[in-house]
Structure 1
């Protein structure tokens, strides 16, 4: 049974299996500026017995009038969403780029109170967060000039060319992208507290932001970690959602212990 439901608070959108029949629940925390629509391609390629939820963070889609909070507020929002998801099937948290940082901290928060059992975390297109920000780089919080903002955003993956070329759409979406990146631009973290669930990391083999030397430290974040390299660039969820689904399907054995 296909579903497309939202809570009254509209903090996520659901597609896929009925919550009571699902074999797996997937919560996607999308890339900077993206809303729940960004998970549609993934949901269309996911197995029929998966329930796919995509977080709708403040400042976008039906939450456009809400201010984008800092990182603690974004984490709280995702934690609340994880707790609100229907069904009891094992939960995978899939964080994409900026969303991997929010997702990591949300999983850590859920571990602290055991309110939701997370069967696994998947980090897509995000270099290891042990990397400390360059103290010499320009910060988004220090400029409102559009050209400067776009140049700084290149270091975080930039904005899609089709969006940058559409002045009207860029004006609408850019403030949310900037607010999201401002929330994480000073972020770095050591491995502790370790993840108690398995961690799968997924990267594009042509992504200049995520070469092996920038991603290897993810292996430190838990006792059960695994990496998949896919053909493609940085925007894997947008450009190759079927391949991201395949990466999860091909590594479900990694999460088997958590699902039993």
Structure 2
């Protein structure tokens, strides 16, 4: 049972009683578990929210980075094993969507566990990914500013920028090295989300996740750019809450 289980990789927002469902949130490149803090108790008392804590930031600032998508997925899939006594839904934004996909494959192929659902946001499916260069620091910072989001605000402070740049740099390299590959059909429903003004990912590409969803596919397009999640938080949470209500 996972009632007393703790993991340096997972920040848990505990429910008063054993949960009916768990929702694992996987942050974007350069992001942290804190991005999902306001989600912690947003889905009712029977849904335990967990947020992945990537190394090299926040509480794990001194921990060594993992620099490839696949080993990062390996570790998180293993860390989830004590929590598989309860149905699990994965939500990932941008880089976190690819990571959630890879974790889903590992849970199914290695442990025979199909998540109740995979939710992907602001990211193309693996078979439609386009190559990205490994950028120098100044171009990485320019890209973060272009995409926006709360993380971009800290870049105006030189001290904070020095603190967060290593994590941003590492994650952008993870994304650059995660090349297109044949998509593997998934053992669970897939729900996709995207902002209608996202200059990084177009709506039709995100719809391509339906190719990997023989168990069912749904999609929601919300107003906003790549970080529509901030301005459309309430609408997004309401949509996720409705889907979680029927998840088993």
2:120 matched to which residue of 1? 123
Q: Structure 1 CA distance, aligned partners of 2:168 and 2:58?
A: 13
Residue 218 (structure 1) aligned with residue 209 (structure 2): yes
Could you say what the CA RMSD is over the residues aligned between the two structures, in angstroms?
A: 2.4
Aligned CA distance change for structure 1 residues 237 and 81 (closer, same or farther; 3 Å)? farther
Residue 169 (structure 1) aligned with residue 160 (structure 2): yes
Q: Structure 2 CA distance, aligned partners of 1:128 and 1:211?
A: 12
1:197 matched to which residue of 2? 188
Counterpart of 1:28 (choices 25, 29, 38) is: 25
Q: Structure 1 CA distance, aligned partners of 2:17 and 2:113?
A: 15
Counterpart of 2:75 (choices 74, 77, 87) is: 77
Residue 139 (structure 1) aligned with residue 134 (structure 2): yes
Q: Structure 1 CA distance, aligned partners of 2:168 and 2:174?
A: 10
User: Normalised by the size of structure 1, how large is the TM-score?
Assistant: 0.82
Residue 248 (structure 1) aligned with residue 246 (structure 2): no
Instruction: Tell me how far 1:196 sits from its aligned partner.
Output: 0.7
Q: Structure 1 CA distance, aligned partners of 2:129 and 2:93?
A: 19
Instruction: Tell me how far 1:100 sits from its aligned partner.
Output: 0.7
Q: Structure 1 CA distance, aligned partners of 2:168 and 2:230?
A: 16
Instruction: Tell me how far 1:19 sits from its aligned partner.
Output: 5.9
1:230 matched to which residue of 2? 222
User: Normalised by the size of structure 2, how large is the TM-score?
Assistant: 0.86
Residue 10 (structure 1) aligned with residue 8 (structure 2): yes
8 Å Cα contact 1:202-1:247 kept in structure 2: no
8 Å Cα contact 2:89-2:116 kept in structure 1: yes
Matches within 5 A, 1:47-58: 47-58=44-55
Residues 113-146 of structure 1, C-alpha deviations (whole Å, 9 max, x = no match): 2354411100012123323434xx6423xx3xx3
2:176 matched to which residue of 1? 185
8 Å Cα contact 1:79-1:106 kept in structure 2: yes
8 Å Cα contact 1:204-1:234 kept in structure 2: yes
Q: Structure 1 CA distance, aligned partners of 2:52 and 2:172?
A: 17
2:43 matched to which residue of 1? 46
* Segment drifting more, 52-61 vs 202-211: 202-211
Aligned CA distance change for structure 1 residues 139 and 56 (closer, same or farther; 3 Å)? same
Instruction: Tell me how far 1:185 sits from its aligned partner.
Output: 1.1
Q: Structure 2 CA distance, aligned partners of 1:88 and 1:231?
A: 36
